[in-house]
Amino acid sequence: MKFTAPRGTRDMLPADSRRWHAVEDEVRRLCALYGFHEIRTPVFEHTELFLRGVGDTTDIVQKEMYTFTDKGGRSVTLKPEGTAGVVRSFIENGLYNDPQPTKLYYLSPVFRYESPQAGRLRQHHQFGVETFGAPEASADAEVISLALALFSRLGIGQLSLRINSIGCPECRPSYQQALREFLKERLPRLCNDCRQRSGTNPLRILDCKEEACIREIEGHPVMLNHLCEGCEKHFEALRAHLGALGAAYTVDTGIVRGLDYYTKTVFEIVSDAIGSQGTVCGGGRYDRLIEECGGPPMPGVGFGLGMERLLMVMENQGIAAPEENKTQVFIGALGDAARARALELVNRLRDQGIRADTDHVGRSAKAQFKYMDKAGCELAVMLGDQELSSGRAVIKDLRGDRAEDCALEELAPAISRMLKRNG
């Protein structure tokens, strides 16, 4: 029987890992500059966390979660997004008692049963940041700035920042009523999902991707016209902060995001390089989520981005992957005694930070040199009976015509000097 990876998943091969490592390294450097600290949460959580934290009217909860009953009869779910688990950990571990704000980031696999498409897999990886305990719009601007800085550092262009405000529980009901009135005559022409959402959370209709629904709701009332004084001031402050940071943006009243926990600020960063659904980063403010999950009243703001979509954008824009860390030195060996000594010498080189390898296949001398050439090795040494008996060997520069004879005991420092000369 031939096994294949489950639909909606993919292997990350060594050629892919170089670009992943480069992005992850940049993420960690940037988060450190911004004062964010890494948090790691379990791959699965109690299902109730996502019902309360994500929202039982969302597509994620209704259609996409991987939920199962464990052997103890408990309902658990593979996490479909990162924020809810971070909030749970923040509360459970009493981080709200620390000086605020708390600034966290994560790199984690997430799982959603959705139709696989470009950059969207059933198991994908998410980078996200969360700032807890900061009510001011400057925190919103900071997380947006961090996302934009990451794209800039990776050399990604053709991006647009779109922002909106979806208000708060004080001002949103009046808007929802206005939206329901607008939709009343249009409901029969909307998709089944939208008709259901009209009674539970009509804002979710604005997030529908069906072309017929998009056309039908053109000219819908906008939340910005219904904001309370506090939400209006917060949005004005966000725009002022973004302007001060030199961040170009567009106000897009259609952005509501697909999760129920958002309040006030919502935003998306959209790429032109991955087709019609080009959102590569999205987030916003969630001032009620911590309290909703059993913690103290405390505001929060953050974003999440899919690593696979990010890497696809880089590939589509022709951003080269970092060069492979190739083997610098290969110590070939002929015979058991030579292989034992070669392995010893290779480990000495590795202790000095030199990428070294040796033969483990029993190849001939010719085949070993052929392998060295294919692997892109810089220096080569071949050990046999003669080298062992004399205690000396020749270091060959495979990129030039230089060679150096030296004692086996001096092999490691001699190789180190040659590598430095080669630059």
**Encoding tokens for residue 43?**
């791959």
Which DSSP symbol is given to 189? G
Length of the chain as a residue count: 423
Q: Is the CB of residue 64 less than 8 Å from the CB of residue 115?
A: no
Angstrom distance (rounded) from CA 380 to CA 172: 71
Which DSSP symbol is given to 120? B
pLDDT, residue 116, reads 67
- CATH, domain 329-422, list 3.40.50.1000, 3.20.20.140, 2.40.128.30, 3.40.50.800: 3.40.50.800
- Topology of the domain comprising 14-171+227-316: BirA Bifunctional Protein; domain 2 (3.30.930)
**Alpha carbon separation from 365 to 43, 335, 381 (Å, rounded):** 48, 11, 11
Q: Dmax of the chain from CA atoms?
A: 95
User: Residue 26: enclosing H or E segment and its boundaries?
Assistant: helix 14-33
What does the domain layout of the chain look like in residue ranges?
14-171+227-316, 329-422
**Core vs surface per residue 374-406: b (16+ CB within 10 A) or e:** eeebbbbbbbeeebbeeeebebbbbeeeeeeeb
Q: Is the CB of residue 78 less than 8 Å from the CB of residue 43?
A: yes
pLDDT, residue 187, reads 84
Task: Using 50 as the pLDDT threshold, list the residues of the chain that sit under it.
Answer: none
Cis peptide, bond prior to residue 188, ω within 30 of zero: no
pLDDT, residue 262, reads 86
Strand ranges across the sheet with 44-46: 44-46, 75-78, 66-69
Q: Does the global pTM surpass 0.95?
A: no
pLDDT digits (tens, 9 = 90+) for 362-380: 999 999 999 999 999 999 9
Residue 17 CA from chain centroid, whole number = 13
pLDDT, residue 188, reads 86
Angstrom distance (rounded) from CA 156 to CA 161: 13
